[in-house]
A and B are shown apart, each in its own frame.
Chain A
Amino acid sequence: MDFLVGWIAIVPSYATPLLLASLGLIVCERAGILNLGAEGLMAVGAMTGAIAVLSGLDPWAALAAGAAAGTALALLFGLATVVMRADHTLSGLAVVAVGLGLTSVVGRPYMQKTFPGIASFGDLFDIDRTTALGRIVAVQDPVTLAMPVLVALLWWWLMKSGSGLRLRAVGENPAAADVAGIDVQLAQLGAVLVSGLLCGLAGAYLCVATSHVWVEGMIAARGWVAVALVIFARWNPARALVGALVFGSADALVPRLQAIGADIPVYLAMMLPYLLTLVVLVASSMAGRASGEPSFLGRIYLRQDKH
């Protein structure tokens, strides 16, 4: 029971970065741009967040700085894919390389230096930690609490609002959207920047709010898990919330087991999130037509082509 409460308590903080990143990717891919760069965008966000806090900035400002850094790198990706019509897959991989390389070079002096994170509810309010509920609530922070709200807003915007419909039209059929007077390139570029913002924030949250330390390679393929999560979520923000909780639980299991001193093969247990991702991908792929994949995802739109 004790183990269970401790596990449930930390799941949101592991699910939040995955959720933020996959929400960003959903917006981007709904506009038809396949974004495989999440790992690099998150890496840049995490390192920038750490540098900001270590330079004396408020942790909240550090989250914003991480988001801004992710947006800046996404601008490069947008320039390549949207403006210069480069191959989405290779551009995404290049962004991962730039992000991982840049953080390794720039972040070296900031490695392994711990810092205070954002305040949890336990710090802000006087919460009775004797009950299970109290113990769970005490370790949550305002960002995790905001997640359901963000998901609801994004779902409403994407699925119910006029501008959300226009964005989805670009990803489904850019030629039709173009004829309807939608600026295809502008919509795609905006969507790419949103993905950079949210992936950067995801990385910064992971670093500033969860680990309180920056180490090279700390994203540890979570960006790729987010890419897979989008497929599981069928490009729907509401399903992404469910997926992020499932993956967050798997991710949080190993540190939790270590914390109670369980004798498990740690590295084998750490394979769990990756293997779970593969299983989920197979299950999602079997859904076939119902997968919800935007029809024009990853393809290059030229106005005069017959699509």
Chain B
Amino acid sequence: MLDAAFLVRRQAPGLLLSGLCYAGGLAFGLAVSAVLLVQAGVPAAALVDEFLIATFLTSDGLAQTVTAALPLVLVGLASAVAMRVRFWNIGVEGQLWLGAVASTWIGLGGTGPDALRLPAMLLLSAAIGAAWIAIPLVLKLRFGVSEVISTLLLGSVAFLLVQHLLFGVWRDPATGFPVTAAFLEAARFPSLGWGQLHGGLFVVGIVAVLVWFMLGHTRAGFYADAVGLNPKAARAAGLPATATVVGLVLLSGALSGLAGMTIVAGTEHRLNQSVGSGYLFSAIVIAYLAGARPFWVVVVALALGAVFTAGSVLKVFYGISEGMIVLVQGTVLISILMAQFFGTYSLSRPGRGEAS
């Protein structure tokens, strides 16, 4: 098949070439997605309107995009910090669900004075997210269980727990629907008076800056890079490899838990069956497209926030399922993955290349 020509790994692919491959893959993926959207019944002329103008260039749209991007930044960072130490956190959704559950418990009046309600929700959601990822972490470090499967399965378990609560003790007594009652006023982020945008913006901003600083400017970030590039070499050099992995993976879980908190305390003000859906692939796609770099995570999260905003509009006006967002994410991801081929390898004809 391809053996007619040798694949040679490029020693140092140039910035221009990598950039071209990335842009080409992105453009191809978006083009395919656009075709799929048109096939699904969205007029081609409406695409620019819905995805660009209504999401960034109008005040309401921009507010909605930024609001949607807040939890996306957190889950993107969650996936990114784990990726840095080569840990696949495919259970972002599970940690997010549990963070939302913990916040709901306090938000419905669980315990404590009102002044401490929001801080308690922040701490508890982060703690429970970290605790939930600690299970796959221990299973991996102690028994070598693949974290890809264990994190994902624990995500399903977390969602079933949410179902159990929503169809049980937390079912709205007024309507009988599987949603909780609305949160206490003290358990909601204050509105910033621009669309649905809420005080969670400051939390997400501070967290993003802290993660950026930690990864780029501290010893822990340096250790993380060393462990991610070559765990054996890092260990041989005397770096605290295991502690670094443990720290970053727990941080990943905490960030996901926090994302759940910002959703229920910021926009929904209650727990329902859909607050956590759609974040699994978003987290992976954001972290991968951003190259696991915090600054770019924020940029990609904003772009994806626009897709989320447009997605909810398309659902209302054209009856298109939210699954469209997942389809676009998958299409763009595999397109960019395949485009990397042209940057990573060069073809050389047999005879000229070095035979094995």
B337 engages A90 (CB within 8 Å): yes
Inter-chain CA distance A277–B356, complex, in Å, is 43
A86 engages B327 (CB within 8 Å): no
Which residues in A have their C-beta under 8 angstroms from that of B51? none
A221 engages B334 (CB within 8 Å): no
Inter-chain CA distance A102–B149, complex, in Å, is 23
Inter-chain CA distance A178–B2, complex, in Å, is 13
Which residues in B have their C-beta under 8 angstroms from that of A100? 323, 326, 330
Which parts of A233-265 form the interface with B (CB within 8 Å)? 265
- A89 lies within 8 A of chain B by Cβ: yes
The stretch from A57-65, A103-111, A133-141, A195-203 touching chain B is A103-111
Which residues in A have their C-beta under 8 angstroms from that of B284? 90, 93
- A204 lies within 8 A of chain B by Cβ: no
Which residues in B have their C-beta under 8 angstroms from that of A268? 160-161, 164
Which residues in B have their C-beta under 8 angstroms from that of A183? 1, 3
- A228 lies within 8 A of chain B by Cβ: yes
Binary contact readout B317-333 vs A (1 if CB under 8 angstroms, 0 otherwise): 00111111111111101
- B215 lies within 8 A of chain A by Cβ: no
- B288 lies within 8 A of chain A by Cβ: yes
Q: Which residue of A lies closest to B326 (CB)?
A: A101
- A87 lies within 8 A of chain B by Cβ: yes
Which parts of A251-307 form the interface with B (CB within 8 Å)? 265-268, 270-271, 274-275, 277-278, 281-282, 285-286, 302-305
Task: Classify the interface of chain B: helix, strand, loop or mixed.
Answer: helix
Which parts of B87-129 form the interface with A (CB within 8 Å)? 88, 90
Residue of A87, A227, A302 touching B149 (CB-CB under 8 A)? A227
**B141 CB, min distance to chain A CBs, angstroms:** 11
B9 engages A302 (CB within 8 Å): yes
Q: Tell me whether A185 and B2 are in contact in the complex, defined as CB-CB below 8 angstroms, given that A80-B338, A86-B337, A86-B338 are known contacts.
A: yes
Q: Which residue of A lies closest to B7 (CB)?
A: A302
Which residues in B have their C-beta under 8 angstroms from that of A265? 164, 168
Binary contact readout B163-174 vs A (1 if CB under 8 angstroms, 0 otherwise): 110011000000
**A167 CB, min distance to chain B CBs, angstroms:** 16
Which residues in A have their C-beta under 8 angstroms from that of B1? 83, 183, 185-186, 189
A304 engages B356 (CB within 8 Å): yes
**B142 CB, min distance to chain A CBs, angstroms:** 9
B354 engages A221 (CB within 8 Å): no
Which residues in B have their C-beta under 8 angstroms from that of A267? 160-161, 163-164, 167
Which residues in A have their C-beta under 8 angstroms from that of B281? 93, 96-97
Which residues in A have their C-beta under 8 angstroms from that of B329? 97, 101
Q: Tell me whether A104 and B326 are in contact in the complex, defined as CB-CB below 8 angstroms, given that A86-B337, A93-B90, A186-B1 are known contacts.
A: yes
**B217 CB, min distance to chain A CBs, angstroms:** 28
- B196 lies within 8 A of chain A by Cβ: no
Inter-chain CA distance A33–B125, complex, in Å, is 38
- A143 lies within 8 A of chain B by Cβ: no
- A231 lies within 8 A of chain B by Cβ: yes
A101 engages B325 (CB within 8 Å): yes
Q: Tell me whether A85 and B345 are in contact in the complex, defined as CB-CB below 8 angstroms, given that A80-B334, A282-B145, A304-B8 are known contacts.
A: yes
Which residues in A have their C-beta under 8 angstroms from that of B163? 267
**B29 CB, min distance to chain A CBs, angstroms:** 10
Which residues in B have their C-beta under 8 angstroms from that of A175? 356
**B79 CB, min distance to chain A CBs, angstroms:** 11
The stretch from B11-19, B150-158, B229-237, B261-269 touching chain A is B150-158
Residue of B148, B161, B344, B356 touching A89 (CB-CB under 8 A)? B148
**A57 CB, min distance to chain B CBs, angstroms:** 22
**B335 CB, min distance to chain A CBs, angstroms:** 9
A86 engages B341 (CB within 8 Å): yes
- A91 lies within 8 A of chain B by Cβ: yes
Q: Tell me whether A83 and B148 are in contact in the complex, defined as CB-CB below 8 angstroms, given that A76-B334, A101-B329, A303-B356 are known contacts.
A: no
Q: Tell me whether A80 and B2 are in contact in the complex, defined as CB-CB below 8 angstroms, given that A97-B330, A108-B321, A278-B139 are known contacts.
A: no
Inter-chain CA distance A95–B337, complex, in Å, is 12
**A305 CB, min distance to chain B CBs, angstroms:** 8
Q: Which residue of A lies closest to B36 (CB)?
A: A105
Which residues in A have their C-beta under 8 angstroms from that of B238? none
- B45 lies within 8 A of chain A by Cβ: no
Binary contact readout A129-159 vs B (1 if CB under 8 angstroms, 0 otherwise): 0000000000000000000000000000000
19 A–B pairs (Cβ distance < 8 Å), ordered by A: A83-B1, A83-B2, A84-B341, A87-B337, A90-B337, A91-B334, A91-B337, A95-B334, A101-B323, A101-B330, A104-B324, A108-B319, A216-B323, A231-B146, A267-B167, A270-B160, A278-B150, A303-B7, A304-B353
- Residues on B close to A: CB < 8 A? 1-3, 6-9, 36, 40, 88, 90, 139, 143-146, 148-150, 152-154, 156-157, 160-161, 163-164, 167-168, 281, 284-285, 288, 319-331, 333-334, 337-338, 340-341, 344-345, 353-356
> A101-B323, A104-B321 known; 19 other A-B pairs, CB under 8 Å?
A80-B334, A84-B340, A94-B337, A101-B326, A101-B327, A103-B323, A183-B3, A185-B1, A185-B2, A220-B156, A224-B152, A265-B164, A268-B160, A271-B156, A277-B153, A281-B145, A282-B139, A302-B9, A302-B345
